[in-house]
Structures are given as structure tokens and as C-alpha cells.
Structure 1
């Protein structure tokens, strides 16, 4: 299981990125941005599972990442990788952090999103 802390540590060490919190009404939503252009390459949010089509009553952490459209369909499995919440569904995916075990795979997806949003 990955946590938002794991993600924040990785992006700080790899890209020099610190999360920022742009939404007053959602103080736990953390944007991961490029230092050079301010564009998001990731967004960590805590949402109710029903908002993303899952069951449950406790908020869960998700990570939105940009992904090439030709890969999004193959990655989405309806359980831990879903269409991007509040994003363009063709170009973004949402990962349920508590259901992700393979750090390497996720870190590769983060790198891909970082490169796609330069």
C-alpha cells in the first residue's frame, strides 16, 4: 500500500517537487506541479469512494495522473486504477493509493505524467 507521504517523498527526491494545497474548501487536496511552468502532473485527493464508483463510507486517498489515451483503457481495472476523478477521462487516471502495492509501477506512471505535462 502506498500513502500520500510515500508519493510526496518520492516526488521531492526525484523532481524536487513539494505539494501545494490550492483549494481552501479541500485542504487535503495536494497538487504536484512543475517548478518551471506551474502545470500539475499529479493531484492527491481524499474522496468518498462513491465519488469514483466504489463502495465504502470512509474517505480514501487517490492520485490523479496524466496518461496517454492509448494506455488509459488498458490500465483501468475498476478496482485500483479508474478514470480520472474530476479530470478529462481520456487523458487522466485515478489510482486508489490504499490498493496499490507496486511502487515501481506507480513511480513509472508518475514519471510519465511528469513528462506529459512539461
Structure 2
């Protein structure tokens, strides 16, 4: 992907039914749409590979050659700026119409999002504009938080790695605190009261069944 497309779609997840409704044709594992662009001066082909890879090709209809000047921010001039704006607007419209926000892209993050929506009817809340990778769930009746979903460096958990990981914070009982916290799989609550919360890496180190049991406990503790 070019930098413009990457910045728009990196935290998005394309939806098959929305892409088809928008006129994309399914070709194998890809979805392809070709259309005139900027008053027929160009032909724009957009190829989407789920979940969020978007490749574009802009062909100058007069020369039948690829046009790429709009992809380099250092290229200036009224016409290039016009092409760049139209290109950005087109991709943003595609993101709004055919993609859903998908900040947390691990399988276990998706499992929690789907389970919570199904069992409790709660949606992720993004409360902090300065921290778009942080979100919470709260009970609809008590308004108390019962889980936080975040992306942080593993080093912030005391691990010897700068890899960015997706984590979840749950409430825990005193018994769980004494039995589970090992600073390898279960960590003291990141950015939360370490006596009442704990952190789990959503990388499969905790089995799905255990993760969902801990979710249920946390939900109940938020009464």
C-alpha cells in the first residue's frame, strides 16, 4: 500500500457484503473496482484484500501510463494537489462505506468484542482522543468498567521486547490475585489498581475458554 492508503486503512477491517454492495467484484480472494476518476482524466482501480490491504492503480487516460505524482507529498502544484485531494477523498469514502474500525486485530481481541456484544450488549468505548489504541467496556446498568482493551509495548509489562501487543485488563478477586499473577502470563493491572485489576496478553498464551471465564468474573465484579 502507498502511505495514503496505509494511513487510512491500517486500523480498519473490510466487510465483504459492503464491498459487493459498493460495486466491487470478487476475484478469488480479492475485491476489485474500476472507475473513472477526476472527470474522466484517469481510471482508478482499487483492489482490496481482506482484512485491510488496499492497492490502487491510477492510469492517465491520455497517456495510458500510471500516474503516481499524488503519492509523494513533496510533489507540489495545483493539479497534483487536486489529484491528491480527490484520491484521499475517494479512499476515505471507501473506508467509511465498506470498512469497520478494527484497532485491535488479534483473534482473541475479536473474540472478546463479539462475545461481549452478544452476551452483554456492550460496545467498546474510545474515551481518549490522545490514546486511540485504548478503549473500555462498562456495564450498562452500573456504568462500572469491567474490561480495558489496549495496545502497548511489551516492555511496559516488564518483558524484554519493544513489540507492540494487544492486552486486556480485567477485574479480579483477591484469590485470583494471589494465584494468577506471575508476570509472564498474568500481569498486575496496567494503568489500573494492581490489587483489583490484572492484565493479559491477547496472544493465545491464555486459552480462549479461560479468557472468557475471566471476562465473566470481571463483569460480575462490576456490579
Q: TM-score range by the shorter chain?
A: over 0.9
Deviations 1:83-106, CA, capped at 9 Å, x for gaps: 100111111110011143411111
The Cα shift of 1:51 comes to 1.0
Residue 95 of structure 1 is matched in structure 2 by: 200
Structure 1's consecutive aligned runs of 4 or more residues displaced over 6 angstroms after TM superposition are none
Q: How big is each residue's C-alpha offset from its partner over 1:42-82, in whole Å with a ceiling of 9 and x where there is no partner?
A: 00010111111112112101100000112212111221211
Give the alignment partner of residue 127 of structure 2, picking from 22, 27, 47: 22
Aligned partner of 2:146 in structure 1 is 41
> 2:115 aligns to what?
10
Q: Whose Rg is larger?
A: 2
Change (3 A) 1:101 1:87: closer
Structure with more contact order per residue of length (Cα contacts < 8 Å, sep ≥ 6):
1
TM (norm. structure 1) is 0.92
- What secondary structure does 1:46 align onto? strand
Q: Which has the higher strand share?
A: 2
State the TM-score, normalizing by the size of structure 2: 0.50
Q: Secondary structure at the match of 2:149?
A: strand
Deviation of 1:19 after TM superposition, in Å, equals: 0.6
Residues in 1 aligned to 2:138 and 2:198: alpha-carbon distance in whole angstroms? 17
Corresponding residue to 1:85 among 190, 197, 200: 190
Tell me: CA distance 1:59–1:18, structure 2 relative to 1, closer, same or farther (3 Å).
same
| Alpha-carbon distance in structure 2 between the residues aligned to 1:59 and 1:111 | 26
RMSD in angstroms over aligned alpha carbons?
Answer: 1.4
Task: Output the CA distance in 2 between the equivalents of 1:83 and 1:43.
Answer: 13
Q: Which runs of 5+ in 2 are unaligned?
A: 1-105
